[in-house]
Amino acid sequence: MEFQIHNPLDMHIHFRDEEMKDLVAPLTSWTFSGALVMPNLVPPVMNLEDLKAYKKRIEAVTSQDNFTPYMTVFFHEGLTREVLEEIKDYVTTIKLYPAWITTNSEWGVTSILSDTNKKIFADMQDLGIMLSIHGETGDFVMDREANFMPNYELIAKEFPRLKIVMEHITTREAAQTLDKYPNLYATITLQHLEITLDDVAGWALKPHLFCKPIAKRDEDRDALLELALSGHPKVSFGSDSAPHPQHAKECCGCAAGVFTAPIALQVLTEIFEKNEKLENLQKFVSTNAISIYGLTPNTKTIELEKKEFQVPEKYGNVVPYKAGETIAWSIKTIS
């Protein structure tokens, strides 16, 4: 059995920088036409100069592939209208992180709905710049995303022409919020379509499945599956593939992030085939994103075959999702 995916897009990816970028970026550019690159470096990508320099570094290690890095800027209070006008033609979206909520987010905002931030939202709305949000509060870890939903609703209601992407949603509450406002959209990761908190810590702690937002309950996973498998037009694939060196995962103070990039398309194909929804995979990994973000992706066709593939134990010093396991689908050709 064979299956083709055209112009696949990953609308949430972490490449990091320096040696890690050199290792992981080609693993995405090989199979994807483009990817939305997160700005939470140390220090973060905060202005046009940072953006151009980072994009150039990414292109230097992905030039062998037909691939576009779609760039983002870290949301901060210095985003005046003048700055926004300067960067608007270079960014696909601006990424907002609550402070200290995830990896390298210490430069994030402490008050989502401050007067300063509302002014930035208004300017973004006027200039047609999208807003992507890591939507979690600092509450009990299982409630953080659900408790953030009122913030999404308030922003969506007050700024109805501002496109807002709820990043890597993990809860039934987020799935239910999606259709309340026409300007709300969402990305969903691979791991949150498969795992629950029980997989992370139910028997023995599995650090390579630990990510933020943390995996939730069966009913939450099932709500995400329903959105993805249906080809819901407001939802697109965003892997949130987040590499960390093995020693930073297998330690006290385990870093948050699941590295799925090398096998994302193969495992997604397996999920959609198992649920008899292969006809909707193209929407989830390409068509919806093209519409939501207004993209014209590079032309690339990925031909997969139902042939077993053993996932490597490591890529460099990074342990991938399903390391050492055998998955049902393989990449046959890329054209």
Q: What is the DSSP letter of 82?
A: H
CA distance 272 to 280: 8
CA 80 to chain centroid, in Å, comes to 26
Q: Which of 61, 12, 64 has its CA nearest to residue 34?
A: 12
Q: Which of 10, 123, 220, 240 is catalytic?
A: 240
CA distance 162 to 12: 19
Buried-state track 83-105, b at ≥16 Cβ within 10 A, e below 16: bbeebeeebbbbbbbbeebbbbb
Q: Which of 170, 243, 234, 221 has its CA nearest to residue 21?
A: 243
CA distance 304 to 269: 8
**Contacts with 52 (C-beta within 8 Å, 6 or more apart), sequence order:** 90
221 and 195 Cβ atoms separated by less than 8 Å: yes
Q: Answer yes or no: 218 catalytic.
A: no
Task: Locate 136 and state its tokens.
Answer: 């979690």
CA distance 122 to 231: 31
CA 324 to chain centroid, in Å, comes to 24
CA distance 281 to 286: 8
Task: Locate 300 and state its tokens.
Answer: 């690339």
Active centre residues (catalytic):
240
